[in-house]
Amino acid sequence: MLDYGEKYRGRSVLITGGMGFIGSNLARRLVEIGQVEVILVDAILPDQGGNLFNINGIEDRLRLHICHLGDVQAIRHLVAGVDYIFNLAGSTSHIDSMNDPHRDLELNCAAQLTLLEACRHFNPRAKIVFTSTRQVYGKPVYLPVDERHRIAPPDINGIHELAAEYYHLLYHRIYGLRAVVLRLTNVYGPRQMIHHNRQSFIAWFIRQAIDGGVIELFGEGRQRRDLNYVEDVVEALLLAGASEEAEGEIFNLGSDNPVSLAKLAAELIDLAGAGTIRSVPFPPERQMIDIGNFYASYRKIEEMLDWRPHTPLRVGLARTIDYYRTYREHYWYGNQGSISRSEATAPGDRD
C-alpha cells in the first residue's frame, strides 16, 4: 500500500461534512499523521449526522467552520489555497429523499455545484475526493457489482448522488479539476449517527442490540450485503487523494465476505449479549426502493491503489459496540452538542 503520509504532511486539507461519521474519522486520521492543516466544514443540520462530540479531544488541532456547502461566498473563501478537499457533505437517507426530493436536490446537487464552481474559479489545482454510494447501481444484474455494471438508481437519493458524481467527472474532463469518485457500501463504526433508522440499517441494528431491543428484519433478513469498517474507508479516501493515477476514476469499495442481514443481526446480539430478532413485512415505502442482495467488487481500487479491507466484521462490530457503550449519552438522542462563537472559526477569519 502507498505510504501516503508524506503526501499530506505540510499540506492543508478541507473536509466537507467534517463533523459527520466518516468526515470526523478522516479528520482524526489526518491529525494522527501530523503536520496537516485540517479544516472542517459542516452545517450541523438536524438528523444529518454532524455531531460536535465527534471531534472530542482534537478540537485544538483543527479548524471548524459552521457553514452550509451552498453558501457561495463562504465556500469560495474556504476552498482558496487548500491542497486537498474530501467532499463528504450531503444527505444519505433514501427514505427522506423520496419524502422531500427538493431538499435532497439542494443538499446533494446544488451544493455540490457550488463547491465545484468555487474550485474552478478560485482553486483549480486542489485534489477533490468525492464520496458517492453503491445505490447508483440499483438492483444488481450480476454479483459482485463492478464499475462496469449498468446504472439504475432506485430512488431520488441515488439519482442525485449519480448527478453529483457526473458533475465532478465533468469538471475534471472539461476544466481539469483533479477529481476522483469513491462509491461506498454500508460503512459502519464509531461516530455514526444512531438515533433514528432513516439512514443506516447497521447503526440502527447496533443500537437495538445494545439496548436489548428488537431488530426487525424485512423479508426474514435474507438480503446479503457487504460492510466496510470506517477505518478501512478512511484509508481508501487517503489513498485516492494521494494518487495522481486515480484522478478522473470511479472506484467501488466492498468486502470479500457479504453477510445476510439475519446473520448480521445474530452476530450483533451475540456480541452485545442482548436483543432479539423479529421478522416483519416490508413497509411499502421501503420495499419499493429495496435492491435485494448487493455486494461490490473492489478489484479496481485494489489493482490501482493497493487498497483492500482489513478489519474482520466481528472485530469492527465489537469496537463499535464498545464505543457506543462508552459514549452513549452523546449519540442516543440526537445530541449534537453546542458551540460558542469563540470555539468555531468564521469563514472570514480563516486567514
Give residue 199's pLDDT: 66
CA-to-CA distance for 337 and 341, rounded, in angstroms? 14
277 in any annotated domain: yes
* Per-residue confidence band for 81, with pLDDT thresholds at 50, 70 and 90: very high
303 in any annotated domain: yes
The mean predicted confidence, pLDDT, of the chain is 92
| DSSP per residue, 118-185 | HHHHH-TT-EEEEEEEGGGG-S-SSSSB-TTSPP---SHHHHHHHHHHHHHHHHHHHH--EEEEEEE-
Residue type, 183: R
Residues forming beta bridges with residue 294, ordered by sequence position: 225
234 in any annotated domain: yes
* Per-residue confidence band for 1, with pLDDT thresholds at 50, 70 and 90: low
Residue from 131, 140, 151 nearest 291 by CA = 140
Give residue 3's pLDDT: 80
How confident is the model over 184-224, as pLDDT tens digits? 999 999 999 997 776 688 999 999 999 999 999 988 899 99
Q: Which domain holds residue 263?
A: 8-335
CA-to-CA distance for 215 and 222, rounded, in angstroms? 14
3 in any annotated domain: no
Among the residue ranges 121-130, 254-263, 281-290, the one predicted with the least confidence is 281-290
163 in any annotated domain: yes
- The answer to whether 19 touches 66, Cβ cutoff 8 Å, is no
Mean pLDDT of 25-37: 98
Residues 6 or more apart in contact with residue 5 via CB below 8 angstroms? 33
* Per-residue confidence band for 338, with pLDDT thresholds at 50, 70 and 90: very low
* Higher pLDDT, residue 101 or 48: 101
E strands, 258-340, in order: 259-260, 276-280
CA angle centred on 335, ends 59 and 157, rounded to 5°: 95
Mean pLDDT of 74-82: 97
For the chain, what is the domain count?
1
Residues 6 or more apart in contact with residue 221 via CB below 8 angstroms? 260, 261, 262, 263, 264, 265, 277, 279
Give residue 9's pLDDT: 97
Residues 6 or more apart in contact with residue 322 via CB below 8 angstroms? none
Retrieve residue 327's grid coordinates: 459514549
Residue from 199, 243, 229, 219 nearest 25 by CA = 229
Give residue 198's pLDDT: 65
Mean pLDDT of 34-61: 93
SS3 category, 277: strand
342 in any annotated domain: no
249 in any annotated domain: yes
Q: How many of the other CB atoms lie within 10 Å of CB of 191?
A: 26
Q: What is the CATH number of the domain that holds 139?
A: 3.40.50.720
- Alpha-carbon distances, residue 22 vs 8, 18, 145, 146, 174 (angstroms): 18, 8, 23, 23, 29
How confident is the model over 312-332, as pLDDT tens digits? 999 999 999 999 999 999 999
Give residue 335's pLDDT: 53
The percent of residues in the chain predicted with pLDDT above 70, rounded, is 94
* Higher pLDDT, residue 48 or 76: 76
Query: Residue 218: enclosing H or E segment and its boundaries?
Result: strand 214-218
175 in any annotated domain: yes
